[in-house]
Amino acid sequence: MSGLFDPLKIRGCTFRNRAWVSPMCQYSAEDGLPNSWHLVQLGKLAVGGAGLVMAEATAVVPTGLISPYDTGIWNDAQVDAWSGIVEFIKEQGAAAGVQLGHAGRKASTSPTWDGTRFVEEADGGWEPVGPSAIGFGPLPSPRALSTEETAAVPGHFAEAAVRADRAGFDVVEIHAAHGYLIHQYLSPLSNLREDRYGGSFDNRVRLLLEVAEAVRQVWPDEKPLFVRVSATDWVERGWDVEETVLAAQLLRERGVDLIDCSSGGAAPDARIPVGPGYQVEFADRVRRDARVATAAVGMITEAEQANEVIAAGRADAVFIARELLRQPNWPLLAASELGVPIDWPLQFRTARPRSVK
């Protein structure tokens, strides 16, 4: 039986524990370049004891940014900017990951604190693209990508993965969740295509599988590859858990090492039963039925709760987002609470609770 603070080895990467930083957009970049904000924000989470620090959804092409202020990894200047951040994270003993994404029809929006409005071209926005010309909520209809344009998307992800390797990242996560481009192809709610990328399950899952194959081909063998999925759209006739399990099996066969199980984002009117650990059931189900490692995410905030998810074999790791914004040293404190002796940063030793040897 493993616990939250047992190491986890995937391919050539040993994570010091299973309390991981979930990707979180900071809306604080310019020209896709991470800066000192990202260094401090991600760096302090590495100092705080996380096993993996996953950088925010990072666009593989400029039109794949969610807002004009997101990070990117489509050019060499961005590789250089990331590499210093990655180096610092790794110096603290954490693994460094980056989530590669394309916003699709949810692109060209303002930061969440501005209400996720559409940003017009005159204000630095651009025309969003998607599988079909169906807008999300109040956002405008995207331009539907042609078959050839869709077939080019995996290449963009692969080029980004090559750059992520050059920047020194240990882990790449393909963002196929939360209603962004790849999820838009998966979900029958946003994908009404009649070519080989739309219609049947095999066609809707094609883009995700092609992206996974293209990335796996260039991403070093010794480095883990993750995929974040929305396990369900939480609406009738949407993408569901059964399809997620099938997709996870196909991803495992293509060398994907872990499925990070989130949910939602495809339907603005979905009624989601949010509560403590509300998505753990998806990590559990995919782990059992697709026989692949999984991570759980979503309102995991307590040490005992996180430890129990791992100890019960419901997931191999947990991703934590908002609780780490509140308490960046959560992993250090959680280890104390669970009575597990772990190394504290030398600079923090005088603050270590006395009960911990």
Ligand X SMILES: Cc1cc2nc3c(=O)[nH]c(=O)nc-3n(C[C@H](O)[C@H](O)[C@H](O)COP(=O)(O)O)c2cc1C
Task: Decide if 208 contacts 173 (C-beta within 8 A).
Answer: no
DSSP states of 218-279: HS-TTS-EEEEEES--SSTTS--HHHHHHHHHHHHHTT--EEEEE---S-TT------TTTT
Q: Binding mask 227-246 vs ligand X (x if CB under 6 A, - otherwise)?
A: -x------------------
Rg (CA), the chain: 19
Please identify which residue in 153, 320, 332, 334 interacts with ligand X, judged by CB under 6 A.
Answer: 320
Q: Which is nearer to ligand X, 26 or 203 (CB)?
A: 26
CB of 346 to ligand X, least distance (A): 29
Q: Does 265 bind ligand X (CB under 6 A)?
A: no
Q: Does 299 bind ligand X (CB under 6 A)?
A: yes
Please identify which residue in 321, 333, 340, 342 interacts with ligand X, judged by CB under 6 A.
Answer: 321
Q: Which stretch binds ligand X (CB under 6 A): 37-45, 84-92, 173-181, 236-244?
A: 173-181
Q: Does 23 bind ligand X (CB under 6 A)?
A: yes
Binders of ligand X in range 102-161 (CB under 6 A) = none
CB of 110 to ligand X, least distance (A): 14
Task: Decide if 250 contacts 213 (C-beta within 8 A).
Answer: no
Q: Does 25 bind ligand X (CB under 6 A)?
A: yes
d(CA 95, CA 90): 6
Query: By C-alpha distance, which of 7, 84, 69 is closest to 33?
Result: 69
Q: Given 27, 69, 180, 197, which residue is catalytic? A: 180
Q: Which is nearer to ligand X, 144 or 215 (CB)?
A: 215
Is 197 an active-site residue?
Answer: no
Please identify which residue in 52, 60, 144, 177 interacts with ligand X, judged by CB under 6 A.
Answer: 177
CA distances from 151 to 154, 195, 231, 239, 240 (A): 7, 11, 24, 22, 24
Binders of ligand X in range 76-105 (CB under 6 A) = 99
Q: Give the residue nearest to ligand X (CB).
A: 321
Please identify which residue in 323, 337, 340, 356 interacts with ligand X, judged by CB under 6 A.
Answer: 323
Q: Does 56 bind ligand X (CB under 6 A)?
A: yes
Please identify which residue in 63, 191, 230, 262 interacts with ligand X, judged by CB under 6 A.
Answer: 262
Angle between helices 206-218 and 241-253 (to 10 degrees): 30
Q: Which two tokens stand for residue 131?
A: 């599988």
CA distances from 267 to 119, 133, 323 (A): 21, 15, 26
3-state secondary structure of 49: coil
Q: Does 171 bind ligand X (CB under 6 A)?
A: no
CA distances from 99 to 164, 315, 339 (A): 10, 19, 32
Q: Which two tokens stand for residue 240?
A: 């569901």
3-state secondary structure of 71: coil
CB of 281 to ligand X, least distance (A): 15
Provide the annotated active-site residues.
180
Q: Interface residues with ligand X (CB under 6 A)?
A: 22-25, 56-57, 99, 175, 177-178, 228, 262, 297-300, 320-323
